[in-house]
Amino acid sequence: IVLLGTLDTKLPEILHLHSRLEALSSPNTSITLIDCGRSPVKHPAISITQDELVTKFGAENEKGSMKDLPRGEIIKFMIRCTTSCVKELHTKQPIHGIISAGGSGGTSLASAVMRVLPIGLPKLIASTVASGDTGPIVGETDVTLMYSVVDIAGTNELLRIVLNNAAAAMVGMSSAYEQQVQHQRDQKEEARRLRVGITMFGVTTPCVDKIREHLESNYAVETYVFHATGHGGKAMERLVSEGRLDAVLDLTTTEICDFLMGGNMSAGPNRLEAALEAGIPTIISLGATDMVNFGPKATVPEKYQQRKLFEPVSYTHLRA
């Protein structure tokens, strides 16, 4: 288990989380504490110090100017250093879980690092911002957020309970994940079903359900259905890039409409590219491309009303 912490500001809280991870884990569990704070901290529990992190993984032209960088730039710098470190750790000895606790800055840092690890590997952050807009934090991955209720500033009774729950959740998830990884290794390659990704939206659900039922009833196939909400398309393409899908039925390409028209469910400018680059069998269709999403309380943007791009009857297609 890897524990990330900005120890110059969160040392007591992260040390409490570290102690609970040790207490709840089995004896053969290794806890690696990485200090990714702005300033170096000394403590015997730290596995990789901030100085070691910056010295080994930081760019030479940035190391000397750290004290002069604004907070946002420091976070970006530490993200790059910590990401490189975690990637190296995972290559040398597979990580079975990664956890952190922090406020807005610490959550931004930890989540960016976590998103480079494979989908399925347990990722958990006890965070002060877990009850807000979590889309930018989670992205297309499976980061688990636990709201800290109180600020992570001092170890009061309530925070200790929350951190204990976070540690318990991570110990359980990482143990189960390690068992699952071992089980997958033991399975014979011939027994594995073909993995087919399918994109879906509300209006394409009947089509996708029919296809899914047909494929799974007649072939050695398991389907992965992705809700085409922006993050859904990114998640599918992330799995394609990781080699974890064998074919794609991209039936619902509505995310492209949001990208072109300024909707809030865009998957970015590179949507459709991953499967083609991977060279896996791919079918692309036009599901829900008569729709753009402007949020739960939004109306049709004025620029579209003025230009009269749609007849009034078509406004119902612009999902609220």
Order of strands, sheet of 282-287, starting from the edge strand that comes earlier in the sequence = 221-227, 194-200, 247-252, 282-287
Instruction: Give the pLDDT of residue 30.
Output: 96
3-state helix, strand, coil in the chain (%, to 5): 50, 15, 35
Mean pLDDT across the chain: 91
What is the band of 185 on the pLDDT scale with cuts at 50, 70, 90? Answer: confident
Give strand pairing partners of 124. Answer: 99, 144
Cβ atoms 266, 230 nearer than 8 A: yes
Q: Does 184 or 90 have the greater pLDDT score?
A: 90
Instruction: Give the pLDDT of residue 313.
Output: 46
Give strand pairing partners of 143. Answer: 123
Question: What pTM did the predictor assign?
Answer: 0.81
Instruction: For residues 235-242, give the mean pLDDT.
Output: 95
Distance CA 163, CA 22 (A): 13
Q: Which of 61-65, 108-112, 242-246 is predicted with the least confidence, judged by mean pLDDT?
A: 61-65
Each residue of 96-119: pLDDT tens digit? 999 999 999 999 999 999 999 999
Instruction: For residues 204-214, give the mean pLDDT.
Output: 97
Q: Tell me whether residue 92 is exposed, middle or buried, using C-beta atoms within 10 angstroms of its C-beta: 0 to 12, 13 to 18, 19 or more.
A: exposed
Tell me how long the chain is: 320
Cβ atoms 252, 228 nearer than 8 A: yes
Instruction: Give the pLDDT of residue 132.
Output: 78
Cβ atoms 113, 105 nearer than 8 A: no
Q: Does 314 or 144 have the greater pLDDT score?
A: 144
Q: Among 68-77, 91-100, 181-190, 290-299, name the most confident range.
A: 91-100
Please name which of 37, 65, 67 lies closest in space to residue 52, comparing C-alpha atoms. Answer: 37
Instruction: Give the pLDDT of residue 306.
Output: 63
- 157 phi and psi angles, rounded to 5 deg: -60, -45
Instruction: For residues 260-284, give the mean pLDDT.
Output: 95
Each residue of 134-171: pLDDT tens digit? 888 998 999 999 999 999 988 899 999 999 999 999 99
Instruction: Report the percentage of the chain scoring pLDDT > 90.
Output: 78
Taking phi first (over 0 means left), then psi (-120 to 50 degrees means alpha), and beta for anything else, what does residue 272 get? left
Instruction: For residues 188-214, give the mean pLDDT.
Output: 90
Q: Tell me whether residue 309 is exposed, middle or buried, using C-beta atoms within 10 angstroms of its C-beta: 0 to 12, 13 to 18, 19 or more.
A: exposed
Cβ atoms 6, 105 nearer than 8 A: yes
Instruction: Give the pLDDT of residue 311.
Output: 53
Please say if the pLDDT value at position 316 is more than 50.
no
Instruction: For residues 20-36, give the mean pLDDT.
Output: 96
Instruction: Give the pLDDT of residue 315.
Output: 43
Instruction: For residues 185-197, give the mean pLDDT.
Output: 79
